[in-house]
Amino acid sequence: MAYEKSLIIIKPDGIQRSVTGEILTRFERAGLKIHAMRFQKVSVEMARKHYSDHVNKSFFPTVEKYITSGPVIVFVVGGLNCVKKVRTLVGATEPCSALPGTIRGDYAHQPYAAPGEPDDKPIRNLIHASGTVGEAEQEIAIWFRPDEVVEYSRLGDEIFAF
Ligand code: GDP
Ligand code: MG
């Protein structure tokens, strides 16, 4: 097991629905350590950089409109096998498939075009989380300068020293 970091974005619907505290609490209670955090609006340029793997997909215009529609909270958390842990806490991409107990399962509910229908609506799934360790490294470098990602000890870290 390795110490990893993951990039998370509480998307505009999370801010609008006032569930940011509850979402942050999920990660804190799971034991993940916060390394960086910013409240900001997302420019079209940043949206395209962040979703570079998706820019040519048919649904990308909906994703771009969604992520740039209002402020977001972008943050970095860390822990052993953090990328997998975070994806487990976040749940499946489509809210209708996200299990209860996951963030998307418990809080994401917006309607969207069903599979096979034209992609005219975004999947409003509340939160972004890096999919792989490589994606996490790439995304952290897009959103934060190295000096904005803070290393520190937390009360209780010493109990994991053996
Ligand atoms: P994630 O890693 O679980 O967020 O999912 P992906 O990396 O596959 O997709 C990135 C984001 O693009 C998702 O969170 C959705 O907001 C959006 N998205 C993905 N697939 C679709 C799709 O088929 N249709 C639409 N409208 N949006 C999609
Ligand atoms: Mg993804």
Output the domain CATH number for residue 46: 3.30.70.141
Dihedral of CA 11/45/139/96: which sign?
A: positive
Question: Quick check: CB of 10 below 6 Å from ligand 1?
Answer: no
**Choice among 50, 54, 109, 128 that is catalytic:** 128
Task: Provide the pLDDT for residue 109.
Answer: 75
Find the mean pLDDT for residues 61-76.
97
The count of domains in the chain is: 1
Give pLDDT tens digits for 99-122. 999 999 999 976 655 566 666 788
Query: H-type helices in the chain, by residue range?
Result: 12-16, 20-29, 44-50, 60-67, 82-90, 103-107, 133-143
pTM of the model: 0.95
Residue 9 belongs to domain spanning: 3-160
Q: If you ran DSSP here, which 8-state letter would residue 74 be given?
A: E
- Which residue matches tokens 């209708």? 96
For atom 2 of ligand 1, the residue with the nearest CA is 131
Whether 24 shows a pLDDT value over 80: the answer reads yes
**Tell me, what's the pLDDT at 112?**
57
* pLDDT, mean over the chain: 93
